[in-house]
């Protein structure tokens, strides 16, 4: 097996973890990870060295953007579950963080997950997202501030949706 394929195989658990955090759906996460791996293996000739992990995260992030665009065209139906009721105790903190993450803009959530969950550097996140490093730093600062205010009980003002 080539070194390139070994690096891809070694990155699969991290890709799955990142995809699950992005999509919040195990099936959708597995689908986009599989699509990312297929595209990476088909496009091996386009990889010109560097960090394979960052390249794979870029592919996965772009696939997720495409998935979100497709989903935005469909109406969202969310059933109410018994677990949606307010809870107290140790499990409530995790649910609050999950809700706070869900409130973030996609770009900010992606940047935060890549840095905190996957341990990428700001420069690597900038390459994955295709933006300057200063933009990554701004997105992280806003994401952290928004999560902190959400956990402190401050509810954000309604967002305008176009």
Q: Which of 76, 95, 117 is the last residue of a domain?
A: 76
Domains: count for the chain: 2
pLDDT at 61: 92
Which domain, by its residues, includes 38? 1-76
Indicate whether 161 belongs to any domain.
no
Per-residue pLDDT for 32 more than 90? yes
pLDDT at 20: 92
pLDDT at 117: 86
Higher pLDDT, 43 or 80: 43
Indicate whether 58 belongs to any domain.
yes
75-134 residue pLDDT tens: 766 666 555 555 444 445 556 788 888 888 888 988 998 998 888 999 999 988 899 999
Q: What percent of the chain has pLDDT over 70?
A: 81
Does residue 31 share a domain with residue 62? yes
Average pLDDT, integer, range 65-78: 79
Contact 59, 36 (CB under 8 A): yes
Q: Which of 16, 49, 76 is the last residue of a domain?
A: 76
pLDDT at 90: 44
Does residue 109 share a domain with residue 65? no
CATH of the domain at 38: 1.10.1740.10
**Residue that has been written with the tokens 């390459």 in this structure:** 127
Indicate whether 46 belongs to any domain.
yes
Does residue 71 share a domain with residue 90? no
Does residue 72 share a domain with residue 87? no
Does residue 92 share a domain with residue 30? no
Higher pLDDT, 2 or 20: 20
Does residue 107 share a domain with residue 66? no
Does residue 98 share a domain with residue 150? yes
pLDDT band for position 37 (50/70/90)? very high
48-61 residue pLDDT tens: 878 889 899 999 99
First to last CA, the chain: 49
Q: Which of 26, 43, 76 is the last residue of a domain?
A: 76
**CA–CA distance, 138 with 136 (Å, rounded to integer):** 5
Does residue 137 share a domain with residue 86? yes
Integer angstrom CA distances of residue 30 from 48, 82, 96, 119: 26, 26, 25, 21
**Residue that has been written with the tokens 């993450």 in this structure:** 101
CATH of the domain at 149: 1.10.10.10
Angle at 38 between CA 34 and CA 39, to 5 degrees: 115
Exposed/middle/buried for 62, CB within 10 Å: 0-12, 13-18, 19+? middle
Indicate whether 108 belongs to any domain.
yes
What does pLDDT average to over the chain?
A: 83
**CA–CA distance, 40 with 155 (Å, rounded to integer):** 41
Q: Where are the beta strands (DSSP E) in 50-151?
A: none
Indicate whether 162 belongs to any domain.
no
Indicate whether 65 belongs to any domain.
yes
């Amino acid at each position: 097996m080539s070194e390139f394929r070994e690096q891809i195989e070694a990155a699969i658990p991290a890709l799955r973890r990142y995809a699950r955090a992005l999509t919040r759906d195990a099936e959708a996460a597995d689908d986009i990870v599989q699509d990312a791996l297929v595209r990476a293996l088909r496009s091996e000739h386009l990889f010109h060295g560097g960090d394979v992990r960052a390249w794979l995260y870029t592919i996965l992030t772009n696939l997720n953007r495409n998935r979100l665009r497709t989903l935005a065209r469909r109406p969202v139906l969310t059933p109410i579950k018994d677990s949606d009721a307010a809870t107290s105790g140790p499990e409530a903190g995790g649910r609050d963080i999950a809700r706070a993450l869900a409130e973030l803009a996609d770009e900010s959530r992606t940047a935060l997950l890549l840095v905190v969950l996957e341990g990428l550097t700001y420069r690597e996140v900038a390459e994955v997202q295709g933006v300057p490093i200063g933009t990554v730093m701004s997105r992280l600062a806003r994401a952290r501030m928004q999560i902190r205010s959400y956990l402190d009980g401050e509810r954000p003002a309604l967002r305008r949706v176009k």
